[in-house]
């Protein structure tokens, strides 16, 4: 039996930041800034999401004054997964705020 776990708040924050970016590439520094996560939390999470098939990752060439950077964006499966967990969270919020 496959066991599913609810995504952590850090995972939800990263996925939300990436879905807000639509199909644009996001860099690790930008994701740290948007989510408030430290790099020691963010990068292992990004690696795990990429291995699960939820993210595309690529090295982008250097720009003047900048080294090459690793960039991330959601795959189609990542979009579906993020939409599902956001809908589930909204449903939970609705159940919590509905009068008894």
Q: Write the pLDDT tens digit of every residue in 12-40.
A: 999 999 999 988 999 999 999 999 999 99
pLDDT tens column, 28-75: 999 999 999 999 999 999 999 999 999 999 999 998 998 899 999 999
Cβ proximity of 72 and 16 under 8 Å = no
In the block, residue with structure tokens 């408030």: 36
Neighbours of 98 (CB within 10 A): 7
Phi, psi of 60 (to 5 degrees): -100, 145
The predicted model scores a pTM of 0.81
């Amino acid at each position: 039996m496959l066991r599913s776990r609810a995504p952590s708040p850090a995972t939800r924050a990263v996925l939300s930041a990436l879905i807000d970016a639509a199909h644009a590439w996001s860099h690790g520094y930008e994701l740290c800034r948007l989510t408030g996560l430290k790099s020691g939390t963010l990068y292992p999470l990004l690696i795990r999401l990429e291995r699960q098939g939820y993210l595309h990752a690529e090295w982008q060439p250097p720009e003047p004054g900048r080294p090459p950077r690793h960039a991330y964006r959601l795959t189609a499966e990542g979009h579906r997964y993020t939409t599902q967990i956001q809908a589930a969270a909204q449903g939970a919020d609705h159940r919590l705020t509905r009068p008894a």
